[in-house]
Structure 1
C-alpha cells in the first residue's frame, strides 16, 4: 500500500475528465491522467501545486493492451492503484434508420467495451492494493428516450449494467463499483450549445434551477466518492442532473 492513494482517470485531457483529475489532485491523491496524447489536462495550465501529483500517461481505451500498459506504468511509478475513474467516451448522433452499424459499434466499443476492459486491467492492481473503488461515468440518457442518440443511450445503459454486475461480483474482493450519471453538464467541449436559443430554452425549462450543470459540480461529487472511501457504497447509479428527471 502506498502512502498516498493513487487514482487513474481516463479521458483526462479535456472536459469533465480534466476537471475530475484536477479535483482529485486537489484532494491530495496521486492522479494518473490517461489520454490518447498522454499530456494531461490541455485546456488550462495546471497549477504548480497540483502538477506534482499528476502523472500523464498515453492510453487508448479502445486498445485493451494500451489501457493495461498505462495502468501498469502508473503502478510501477506509485506503488499501487486504489481507484479508477472511467470517463473516456464518445457521443455520436444520427437518425436511427440511417445510422450505420459500424458507427453504432464504435460508440459501444468506446463507451462500454473499452470501459469494461479498463475495469479488468485495474482488477489485479486493486487486489494487490487491498481493494479500491471504480467510478464509471454514465449518463442520465441511460433511462430516457432521446432522438438520434440510440447508440449513446445504449452504451450508457450498458455502463449501468456493467457497474451493477462488477459491483456484485467483486465486492468480496474489496472492490466497489459505482456509476455517476450526469445530466447536461457544461464543459469547454459543449458550452457553445447554450448559444442555440431553442436548446437554451429547453434546458431552462427542463432543469428546475434553470441552468445546466457545471463540470466542477460533477467532479466534486466524483471526488467525494473516491477520496472519502465509503465501504458500503457499491453497485448503484447516482444521477446528478439538477432534478431534471424527477421534474419531468
Structure 2
C-alpha cells in the first residue's frame, strides 16, 4: 500500500461537490490528486494542512472531448511527479423533462457527459493504470440507475450505463491489475443543491422518504471512495455500492 499511496489519482469534476470531497479525502491519505474541471479550479482545501494542500493540482479539461482528455494524460504523470494509480469518474450533468418532448440534444449531452466520458477517461488512463500493476477506477453513478423516475429518462439511462460499463471494464481489465467499482449515491447535499434540498416541502419529503432521515453529505461519498483506495489488490471489483440512506430499497 505504501507504493500506491505515493501515486496520483485523477478526479473529474474535482473542484466542487462530491468530486471536491473525494479529492480532499485522497489528499489526506497522501495521494497526489489531479482535480479535473472545465475551469481548472482547485477545491476548497482550507481544512487541509499545507502538505496535503500541496498534493492537490487543478487541471483544466473538457472530459467530453477526446483530444482534450488525451492531451491532459500525455503529460500528467510528469506534471504530478507521480505514477497514475487511480481514476475517479465523477463529473456529470443532470437535465430533466418530459420524455415525450425531451430534446435529443439534451439527451445526448447527458449521455455524453455522464457515460461516454467514463469510457474516454478510462481509455486514456488505461496505459498508466496497467503499468502501475495495482490500480483502481471509481465511477460515480446514482441510485437512479435502478429506478423509474418521471422526467429523468436521460439521467437514469446514463447512470445505468455507468454501472454496466463498470462491470464490463472490471471483467476485461482484471488481468491487468485494474479494479473498477461503481459508487451509486442517493440524495447528497452539496453547495450546488443545498438551498433546494432545504426548501420546506422537499426537505420534509426527503426526511420522510429516506430511512436514514434525510440527504447524505459529500463526505459520505468522499470517505468511501478514499477507503476503496486503501484496499490495493482487493478482490472487490465490478460491484455497485449504493449509498442512499436506504431509500432505493424502502417501500
Go from structure 1 to structure 2 and tell me whether the alpha carbon gap of 1:108 and 1:33 turns closer, same or farther (over 3 Å shift).
same
Residue 69, structure 1, aligned to residue 71, structure 2:
yes
The equivalent residue for 1:233 is 236
Q: Give the structure-2-normalised TM-score.
A: 0.94
The equivalent residue for 2:94 is 91
Gaps of 5+ in 1: none
1:19 to 18, 21, 42: 21
The equivalent residue for 2:85 is 82
Residue 138, structure 1, aligned to residue 141, structure 2:
yes
Displacement of 1:151: 0.4
The equivalent residue for 1:40 is 42
Mapped partners of 2:241, 2:45: distance in 1: 29
Displacement of 1:218: 0.9
CA RMSD of aligned residues (A): 1.6
Check whether the contact 2:32–2:82 (CA below 8 A) recurs between aligned residues: no
Task: Report the 3-state secondary structure (helix = DSSP H, G, I; strand = E; otherwise coil) of the residue aligned with 2:183.
Answer: strand
Mapped partners of 2:78, 2:226: distance in 1: 24
Mapped partners of 1:204, 1:117: distance in 2: 38
Displacement of 1:2: 7.6
1:5-24 per-position Cα deviation (integer Å, ceiling 9, x unaligned): 21110001111111110011
The equivalent residue for 1:243 is 246
Mapped partners of 1:3, 1:94: distance in 2: 43
Mapped partners of 2:212, 2:241: distance in 1: 19
2:103 to 90, 100, 103: 100
Check whether the contact 1:24–1:227 (CA below 8 A) recurs between aligned residues: no
Count how many residue pairs are aligned between Structure 1 and Structure 2: 247
Mapped partners of 1:213, 1:58: distance in 2: 28
1:178-189 to 2 correspondence within 5 Å? 178-189=181-192
Gaps of 5+ in 2: none
Check whether the contact 2:5–2:31 (CA below 8 A) recurs between aligned residues: no
Task: Report the 3-state secondary structure (helix = DSSP H, G, I; strand = E; otherwise coil) of the residue aligned with 1:83.
Answer: strand
Displacement of 1:198: 2.1
The equivalent residue for 2:213 is 210
1:140-159 to 2 correspondence within 5 Å? 140-159=143-162
The equivalent residue for 2:61 is 59
Displacement of 1:50: 2.1
Residue 30, structure 1, aligned to residue 32, structure 2:
yes
